[in-house]
Amino acid sequence: MYKTSKETQDRKDAKRQFILDTAANVFAKRGYHNTAVKDIVEEASISVGSFYFYFKGKEELFAELYLTIVKAFQDTSQKVLDIKNNNLIKNFTRVITANLWMYQSKRELARIMLIEAVGLNPEFEKKRSDSIKESCRTMEEWFKRFKVHNPVNIPDERIAALAFESSFYYLVLDWLEGDEVAKLTDSSYGLTVYNLQALKMPFEDEDIKMYVKEVLDELNQVQNL
């Protein structure tokens, strides 16, 4: 039985990622419904056969692109966590701000993912639903850990997680449908304070503003490298 060498597999993986990255740019420019496979192929300067070697069609590619973006959000959230300093308020602020920053940096893709592609097809909807449920479960576990060492008022962690995710989701939707000049990260302070107050967690305004500025400086510095 033929076994693919690591070098060959690495080349295939790189080519697949290149097609995904190219498709992301095309989708962002043209929108999902106005993008055809030929548009992606032309932008990537590859053959149609090469495209179909990696993907069954536009729908499968889009679904995989969605999961790639979800993972990028998760990775960014993990990177900004200050694991050396178990400061609940600081980490809460940093994660909220980092996620808003990610949406801001991928505005057109976010518009497609959250608005244009809703109800696209059963396969995509399942992936989208699963990612939302996973995000809620992650927040639920966060709130459970918070309660162990912090005076947090959370009678039901699942409801708290759903409420948090909803406030985040609708804030992003409102931004996507509004003024393109507005920065989503300008809402970092307000969203953080709203959720901290809902949880009845004591905090200092100046600390929240400082944490927001710190993480934005870090993320912008990495982006500019």
> How do the domains of the chain map onto residue ranges?
1-55, 58-223
* Closest among 215, 78, 86, 203 to 146, alpha carbons compared: 86
Each residue's pLDDT expressed in tens, for the chain with a length of 225 residues: 556 688 888 899 899 999 999 999 999 889 888 999 999 999 999 999 999 999 999 999 998 888 888 888 888 888 888 767 778 889 889 999 999 999 999 888 888 888 887 777 887 888 888 988 998 998 898 888 878 877 777 889 999 999 999 999 999 999 999 877 789 999 999 999 999 998 888 899 999 999 999 999 999 987 765
Q: Are 65 and 113 in contact (CB under 8 A)?
A: no
Q: Report d(CA 130, CA 115) in Å as an integer.
A: 17
Q: Say if domain 58-223 classifies as CATH 1.10.357.10.
A: yes
**How high is the pLDDT of residue 3?**
61
Query: What is the pTM for the complete model shown?
Result: 0.84
Question: With helix as H, strand as E and coil as C, how does 7-52 read?
Answer: HHHHHHHHHHHHHHHHHHHHHHHHCCCCCCHHHHHHHHCCCHHHHH
Q: What is the largest CA-CA distance in the chain?
A: 64
3-class state of residue 105 by DSSP = helix
**How high is the pLDDT of residue 224?**
63
Number of Cβ atoms within 10 Å of the Cβ of 33: 12
Question: CATH fold of 1-55, please?
Answer: Arc Repressor Mutant, subunit A (1.10.10)
Q: Report d(CA 125, CA 127) in Å as an integer.
A: 5
Tokens linked to 12: 């295939």
